[in-house]
Each structure stands twice: as structure tokens, then as C-alpha cells.
Amino acid sequence: MPKISSKLPNVGTTIFTQMSQLAIEHDAINLAQGFPNFDCDRRLQDLLNRATRNKHNQYAPMSGVPALREVIKDKIQNCSQVAVDVDAEITITSGATQAIFSTILALVRQGDEVIVIDPAYDSYKPAITLAGGIVKAYTLRRPDFKVDWDEYKSLVTDKTRLLIVNTPHNPTGTVMTKPDWEALYQCIADRDILVLSDEVYEHIIFEGNHHSVLEHKGLRDRAISVSSFGKTLHCTGWKVGYAVASSKITAEIRKVHQFTTFSVHTPSQYAIAQYIDHPSVYENLALMYRRKRDLLQEALSDSRLRIYDSQGTFFMLCDYSELSDADDVTYTQQLVKECGVATIPLSVFHTHPYDEKLIRLCFAKTDEVLLTAADRLCKL
């Protein structure tokens, strides 16, 4: 047996896979992994069928099907009032995960520092490590989980190459406001630093509007925004997303993209292009999820969990310190087994030790499932 020296010695199976597996084993309600338990629209399914029958079954262009890039351009114009070049600035990727991975691999070199905001989505740090970069973590704190930009700025050094931001933020549900973007810009205005903005929950925002990094004039040329149709159209299994960046940055991302996957599933791209032709498809999303957030929050009001307000995404945080002294990983395992509800422990999203007794609940579930889960949690 050859000796295998792992390039990612500290990485195991993701917490989402682990908790979903545990939920199946214990026949528990899965409020852990972030995916809807309801189906995507029948019309979208029919469009996919039609695309395969219409012979859209061979390789798509490396950068994505032109019709899809065209509707994305219109969507960005409509939502953010920003003009993007269809050919030079939009790349369709295999979910947001691959957009993030290709971006980090393309832009981060050995020894470059990358600032992430903890709790951070789990795919950022392994990608930084594989690129030879160094993770610098800024930790969000209660009660509002907002960035203190003066403190954040102290992490910026001559070695900083990339900042990674996520708005609306998984798992805290906080959002970047216009002043936040300006404050971030002021941290790096006089330096050669790029900004990767993970905006997969851009249409799931409950207070105010989503502000894309692309809207900030100073950041536009140094920004990469990443989106996911999985979140927007309830089809996480299709794995179609995209990255938008200036032509120079896009050219670098595509150098990696073309050798990670080359191109993305063709019929899905045609189906989505036809489906999102009308803004109503994504405009009603926030209302639907706001109602679900309120339903779960209200149903949990008699529980001993302390709920934090979620301004966006389909997640909310809960403090369980009234219920247990156990660390969050142990507690979530107990919850699956003893209460029949799977959740996500917050510590796994942190670089530094974190024992804050917080768990994440996903409310992208049918009302019935949310109410049953809440009923179980209220009995604790």
C-alpha cells in the first residue's frame, strides 16, 4: 500500500452529509442540510424534458449556453441595475460550489492570505488550502452577527489577496448593506485585493434589498459574484450556478473551470434559460420563505430555544444553552437520536475554537414538517 499523505488532513465528510445520514438512520426530520423538501415547479421539469427531446444533449459551450447567459445579464440589470457583458463576464458553473472552487484556485497563490468571515460556508477553506493560501478568519459575534469593519481591517496585510463575503449569510442570516460594502471597500481601496461575494441566497431576503458586490463602483472591477439556481428554483440537485466578474478575472476563472468540468449539463441550462425569462419566478421567493421563517419562529416560541432573527437565507440560529451544557456537535447528535430533529452545529463553520451553544435550523420545508419539528423541539 503506498503511503498517502493527505493534502487536506483536517477535512472529513461534510457536516451536511453527516447530519443527513444520521437523519435517515434515525428517521428524523431533516432541518440540517439546506435543501427544500418540496419539489421544483412542474413547468421547469417539463422544460428540462423538452430540452432533452430537442436534442440539447451534447457539450454546452465552456462558458455556458448563450441563452442562459443572456437571461442572467437581464436579471442582473433588473435586480442590481448593473450592466454585464454576456460573453466576457458570465460563466455558468456546476453549482455555486464549483464557481467558488474555480475562483479560489484561479486567483489564490502559495502564501496568499484570504480573509473569510466565520461562521463560513464549509467549501471556502479547503479550496484556499488546496490553492496554497492561508485562511485568516474574522469571527461574527452576537447579538447581531454584523462585521465591525475597523476590527476586520486589522486582518488585511500586504499578503492579503482575496476577501470572501457571503450575503445573505449562511448560517446567521445577516445581510450586507450599502454602508457595509463601502466599509469593506475602504479596507482595501489602496491595495490589489479581490473580493469573492457568495450571493446564492440573493432572492431570499426579508428586510431591505439584496445588494450585490457588483453594484459598488469601486469594487466592480475586483469582484466576483457567485449565484446558484439550486437555491432560487428549488432544484439543488441540478447543480447549476454561475460566476460574474470583470473580463480579466473571468478569463482566469475560466482557465480553471475548463479543466475542472469543462462545461455544465446542457439541457438544464436550456430549461432554466426559458424558465427564468420572467422576474416573477424569483421575485416571490422572499415572501414564501419569510412566511416559513415566521411560521417556524412562532411555533418555537414556547420552546426553550432562543431564536435569532434571520434577515435572509432559509436558515435561522437557535441558542440551546437553557437545555444543555453539551457542546454543539454532541448536542445535535443527541437531538437527532432523542428528539427526531436533525440540525447543524455552528462550531463546524469556525476556524477558531467556538463553544457558543448555537445550532442552525433550515426552514426550506413544508409547513407540516416545520410544525412537526417545532412540536418535537417544544417538548424538550
The residues that touch ligand PMP, with contacts defined as CB under 6 A, are 34, 95-97, 121, 166, 170, 198, 200, 228, 230, 236, 241
Bridge partner residues of 341 (DSSP): 29
Choice from 14, 37, 45, 258 touching ligand GLN (CB under 6 A): 14
Mark 146-185 with x for binding to ligand GLN (rule: CB under 6 A) and - for no binding.
------------------------x---------------
Q: Tell me how far CA of residue 250 lies from CA of 107, 128, 221, 369, in angstroms.
A: 10, 18, 11, 42
CA distance 121 to 108: 18
Least distance from ligand PMP to the Cβ atom of residue 51, Å: 19
| # residues contacting ligand GLN (CB under 6 A) | 5
CA distance 331 to 290: 27
> Is the distance from CB of 165 to CB of 152 less than 8 angstroms?
no
Least distance from ligand GLN to the Cβ atom of residue 330, Å: 20
Q: What is the biggest distance separating any 2 CA atoms in the chain, rounded to whole angstroms?
A: 58
Bridge partner residues of 225 (DSSP): 197, 244
Nearer Cβ to ligand PMP, position 227 or 303?
227
CA distance 120 to 170: 7
Least distance from ligand GLN to the Cβ atom of residue 121, Å: 6
Least distance from ligand GLN to the Cβ atom of residue 97, Å: 7
CA distance 342 to 376: 11
Residue 14 binding target from ligand PMP, ligand GLN, none, CB below 5 to 8 Å by type: ligand GLN
Q: Tell me how far CA of residue 74 lies from CA of 67, 228, 324, in angstroms.
A: 11, 16, 50
User: How many CB atoms within 10 Å of residue 302?
Assistant: 12
Least distance from ligand GLN to the Cβ atom of residue 276, Å: 20
- Backbone dihedral region for residue 223 (phi beyond 0: left; psi -120 to 50: alpha; all else: beta): beta
> Is the distance from CB of 29 to CB of 23 less than 8 angstroms?
yes
Nearer Cβ to ligand PMP, position 166 or 266?
166
Nearer Cβ to ligand PMP, position 267 or 303?
267
Name every residue whose Cβ is closer than 8 Å to that of residue 25 and which is 6 or more positions away in sequence.
none
Choice from 30, 33, 80, 347 touching ligand GLN (CB under 6 A): 33
Least distance from ligand PMP to the Cβ atom of residue 276, Å: 15
Query: Phi, psi at residue 162, to the nearest 5°?
Result: -145, 140
Residue 166 binding target from ligand PMP, ligand GLN, none, CB below 5 to 8 Å by type: ligand PMP
Nearer Cβ to ligand PMP, position 129 or 170?
170
Question: In the window 205-264, what residues touch ligand GLN (CB under 6 A)?
Answer: none
Residue 95 binding target from ligand PMP, ligand GLN, none, CB below 5 to 8 Å by type: ligand PMP
Least distance from ligand PMP to the Cβ atom of residue 3, Å: 33
Choice from 34, 168, 173, 267 touching ligand GLN (CB under 6 A): 34
Residues of the shown chain interacting with ligand GLN in the complex, contacts defined by CB under 6 A: 14, 16, 33-34, 170
